[in-house]
Structure 1
Amino acid sequence: MVTFLVGIVLLIVGYFTYGKFVEKVFGVKEDRATPAFTQADEVDYVPMNTKKNSLIQLLNIAGVGPIFGPIMGALYGPVAFIWIVVGAIFAGAVHDYLTGMISIRNRGAHLPELAGQYLGKIMKHVVNAFAVLLLLLVGTVFVTAPAGLLYNLMNGWMGMGLILAAIFIYYILATLLPIDKIIGRVYPLFGLLLIISAVGVGAGMVITGADIPELTLTNLHPDNVPIFPLLFLTISCGALSGFHATQTPIISRTTESEKQGRKIFYGMMIAEGVIAMIWAAAGMALFNGPVGLNELLAAGGPAMVVSEASTMLLGAIGGTLAILGVIILPITSGDTAFRSARMIIADYFKMGQSKILSRLWIALPLFILSYGLTKIDFTLLWRYFSWANQTTAVIALFVGAMYLYIAKKNYWISLIPGIFMLYTTMVYILNAPIGFRLDMGIAYIGATVITITLVATFFVAANKARADQIPLEEDVSGWSPSVARL
């Protein structure tokens, strides 16, 4: 249990130390106007306070990823704790903070717009298609996962089809209505339930003295379990997730001051890391090791693990509340996945979103496509989601590195994790059954060549961008709160 507790302490310390360092590197301008005021439209650009934005951000980014991913990652043993802690502090939280803050500096722009601005016009089109595909996968995964949990919780008395329909109806409303009408009102309450459920499971393990395995030199690399690259894609949310790059611009459009960014973007990623630690520990400690966990996963997937762990630690009533907290996670990320997809498409085609019919024309085709994807096997969807997710993280980290390079600041804080994940995703897709199915040795060589080539290309483009003095932020000179309120 010492490894588990030390890991959580390190995450918290990381927020107050490395988080502050990253904030200093970026260079916050506390008095600079944010898009919530300069672009106010009472639909997507709506000023909200720090507490509300923080809880919404946490729910936006914390889907089933920081629960299902760490549960499956628990099969690797305590080494999973290392990736969650190191990944969250030095990769995931940096990724989220830079994406959110650069978006604030650019009218609340989404990742495709930022990629076009800092990585070239071609990347704008590529990332736009890639981001929409990722969000469709996320939205679909976050329909089927909570539907399965609800079906099990109600012992099947409500049909799966009816549950799916109810979730889709909620998603449609949350996607179309102004952000402060549903999301801004219910997310803070849901956020409290999420925190209570996670703390309940974590405290339950501590109080009962659960046998959470310690990290040792002998289990640092489990026998017959290849850690690289699978561990780094299995545990994505909770350590590093490209999905977050599609969500942070939603809150960058409601943030009132740049000074709030560290708490909202960096801090909520650390909170997600704590949630991931708790569920990874539960997976390792409660089911008689990897063999028992594997059997439970084979019988009912991560959803059954959640149900069994919650009931075991908290009893029938407490366990039900904990399961409800877990159900809320994917639902409150699925709705913003579709909302983000709607906003990205609207930005790409320069379609105003003040009228609900304009939002409807974009949203309906997304929901029709997503419903079709629910017919595909969840496990297969998750594999494609994992790769697409981490590839998106690579793009976002390189955007952050380019921004800092042009600004002549410490770009290595973003480029180093970007390079690592670029190599990881390339090895995976070259070797994986859903990819090119190459021998692992060839995959390593191919990934090395691709990584070196792309990093060299980055520096060539970065030097050119710095020489051309690519603008880093929108011009808000002449703006004042009194003008914004007219």
Structure 2
Amino acid sequence: MNSLWLLVLGIILFFIAYVSYGGYLAKKWGVDPSRPTPSHTKYDNIDYVPTNAKVLLGHHFSSIAGAGPITGPILASIFGWLPVYLWIVIGSIFVGGVHDFGSLLASVRHEGKSIGEIIKVNVGKRGKALFNIFAWLTLVLVVAAFTDITATTFAFDASKPDLLTGARAGTASVLFIALAVAFGFAVYRKGASLTISTIVGVALLFFCIWIGYQLPFIKLSLNGWRVLLLIYIFAASVLPVWLLLQPRDYLNSFLLYAMLIGGVIGIILVHPTIQISAVKSFTIGQGAAAQYLFPMLFVTVACGAVSGFHSLVGSGTSSKQIDSEKDIKFVGYGAMLIEGLVAIVALISVAYVAKIDGSLSPAQKFAAGVAYFMSSFGIPEAVGKVFVTLAFSAFALTSLDTATRIGRYVFEEFFDTGGEKKSLLTNMYVATLFTVAASIVLVLYGYNKIWTIFGSANQLLSGLALLAITAWLAKNGKKTIMTVVPMVLMFCVTLSALLLSMKNYYLAKSWLLFVLALLLFILAIVLIIETVNTLKRATTAGKNINA
């Protein structure tokens, strides 16, 4: 089949969904541009900062995308391209988009507080505590998975000195971090024009890529990159958002958009034929390695259709920067649909690479495929591979530093009793240290071994976030059918996936991962029961009052 049709159909459906279903959600949920947002009412110039919608879209999209919408669809392609494609499109529109839009709006209406705080208000303190434990464990998995993915992408193998793609991308990425700090300082401290700074910043970004390609002077091993990345995310977690996180994500978005546009144009020109089957067997592999289309397809695609991590980004950083409620659909729903498009491009990239080398890693498959597509309009494949590898790592790295920062928020919230005397555990440096330290143990497993539990926990987190949004909507007399249906679907998928994961980890004697999966399963069940009971009590009380 000609893959061009998959791309065109996806773009058309996403555009229609943004205008129609996104507008429908905004109307039914009562989005009000006249309401003051937390970025104004709680302005502190650190976390609460009114931000231009285009800048915030770049930050939000860069943060939520990660390596998930690329790695997930490529790994899930073992089941065939058709089920992956259908879940990406349907999931992005009716599950992921609703989840992201709803969590961002709910957080803005709760003073920019996290999903945990929203649960506290609408369910209770115990519900918040359970959710925060679950969310923090999931964030530790995110940090571990994306640290290893990024380190693997950048790693230099001294035994293969001619293979410089990773070293080139790593060098450019480090230079880019310094550029982002300079950009943030110029715009937010020196009052430089955003337009002029953006033009100069993007030009210097591509200059960093050129230097990285020509002079790849940072040649670290896998463990060397792991250490460097852990140091970086610690710093990114505690520095003011305007100094590193926001400007890096904003400038990164241009890199990501350029890669996406290049890939789309390349696919239009090359229109490669799908090389993999539309649908393969329901079961892939045997024993502990067995993979079942249901439910593993859904948790493997992960961020390409829906991701609980997005709710933590939306309620952790983005909601504190929303300038007006009219920007919520643009940032929340819009960014999810863009991510769905990235997932489609990743899936199509397998169509080309599958006929060359099926042993490549997801990052290598994606870089090889998109670089080939871009060579159709004059970009050399070698340069394209470095560019796409850098863009891929940029996805992972922006999610990595954002996840660490949000992990810090959640950790602080859990130990914050609300009194004047603060516990040492609410200190941002201590909270960051615990978050980073916990992820170190899991990093050693490698992303291949933790991807399934990461996907399961991440998707289950989306179900819990939808549960929180549903509770808030119900208490405010709003329609909940838009959140209830995807919520039930995600609970069915993810709880089944966790049970299968526990079985596989038990057979493989991976005891730490088995215990972690069991803990996540129990926390989710208890929180679901707690929320349902709260909603029942609220409904009964409402009926008694009316009577």
TM-score range, shorter chain: 0.7 to 0.9
One of 4, 18, 22 as aligned partner of 1:19: 22
Q: Does the Cα contact within 8 Å between 1:397 and 1:415 map onto a contact in 2?
A: yes
Paired residue for 2:389? 323
Residues 345-360 of structure 1 aligned to structure 2 (within 5 Å):
345-350=411-416, 358-360=427-429
Paired residue for 1:305? 365
What do the CA deviations read for 1:397-421 (whole angstroms, capped 9, x no partner)? 1111122222222201000000011
Matched, 1:388 2:448: no
Paired residue for 1:161? 223
Structure 1 residue identity aligned to 2:22: G
What do the CA deviations read for 1:80-109 (whole angstroms, capped 9, x no partner)? 111001000000010011111111111111
Gaps of 5+ in 1: 438-450, 470-486
One of 95, 100, 103 as aligned partner of 1:96: 100
Matched, 1:415 2:479: no
Give distance in 2, aligned partners of 1:185 and 1:466. 45
Paired residue for 1:369? 438
Residues 104-123 of structure 1 aligned to structure 2 (within 5 Å):
104-123=108-127
Of all paired residues, the percent bearing the same amino acid is: 27
Paired residue for 1:272? 339
What do the CA deviations read for 1:336-376 (whole angstroms, capped 9, x no partner)? 101001112222333899x9x93212212222222232212
TM-score, with length taken from structure 1: 0.85
Paired residue for 1:43? 46
Give distance in 2, aligned partners of 1:310 and 1:37. 41
SS of corresponding position for 1:237: helix
SS of corresponding position for 2:535: helix
Q: Does the Cα contact within 8 Å between 1:313 and 1:319 map onto a contact in 2?
A: no
Structure 1 residue identity aligned to 2:320: R
Structure 2 residue identity aligned to 1:127: F
After superposing on structure 2, the runs of 4+ consecutive aligned residues of structure 1 that deviate more than 6 Å are 451-457
One of 305, 309, 312 as aligned partner of 1:243: 309
SS of corresponding position for 1:228: helix
SS of corresponding position for 1:78: helix
Give distance in 2, aligned partners of 1:405 and 1:241. 23
Q: Does the Cα contact within 8 Å between 1:95 and 1:245 map onto a contact in 2?
A: yes
Aligned-residue offset at 1:213 = 6.6
Gaps of 5+ in 2: 157-164, 168-217, 285-291, 375-380, 508-523, 543-547
Paired residue for 1:202? 264
Aligned-residue offset at 1:452 = 12
TM-score, with length taken from structure 2: 0.76
One of 333, 338, 346 as aligned partner of 2:404: 338
Paired residue for 1:180? 242
Aligned-residue offset at 1:283 = 1.5
Give distance in 1, aligned partners of 2:95 and 2:448. 26
Give distance in 1, aligned partners of 2:278 and 2:224. 45
Paired residue for 1:442? none
Aligned-residue offset at 1:19 = 0.8
Q: Does the Cα contact within 8 Å between 1:174 and 1:339 map onto a contact in 2?
A: yes
SS of corresponding position for 1:252: helix
Paired residue for 1:481? none
Matched, 1:133 2:206: no
One of 306, 322, 340 as aligned partner of 1:255: 322
Q: Does the Cα contact within 8 Å between 1:88 and 1:269 map onto a contact in 2?
A: yes
Paired residue for 2:174? none
Give distance in 2, aligned partners of 1:468 and 1:257. 35
Aligned-residue offset at 1:454 = 9.2
One of 473, 497, 500 as aligned partner of 1:404: 473
SS of corresponding position for 2:477: coil
Structure 1 residue identity aligned to 2:537: K
Structure 2 residue identity aligned to 1:74: S
Q: 373-382 or 89-98: which moved more?
A: 373-382
The change in CA–CA distance for 1:83 and 1:213 in structure 2 (over 3 A counts) is farther
Give distance in 2, aligned partners of 1:126 and 1:257. 31
What do the CA deviations read for 1:52-77 (whole angstroms, capped 9, x no partner)? 11110001100110000011122222
Q: Does the Cα contact within 8 Å between 1:210 and 1:286 map onto a contact in 2?
A: no
Give distance in 2, aligned partners of 1:460 and 1:169. 43
Structure 2 residue identity aligned to 1:160: L
What do the CA deviations read for 1:378-435 (whole angstroms, capped 9, x no partner)? 2222121111101101101111112222222220100000001111112222233347
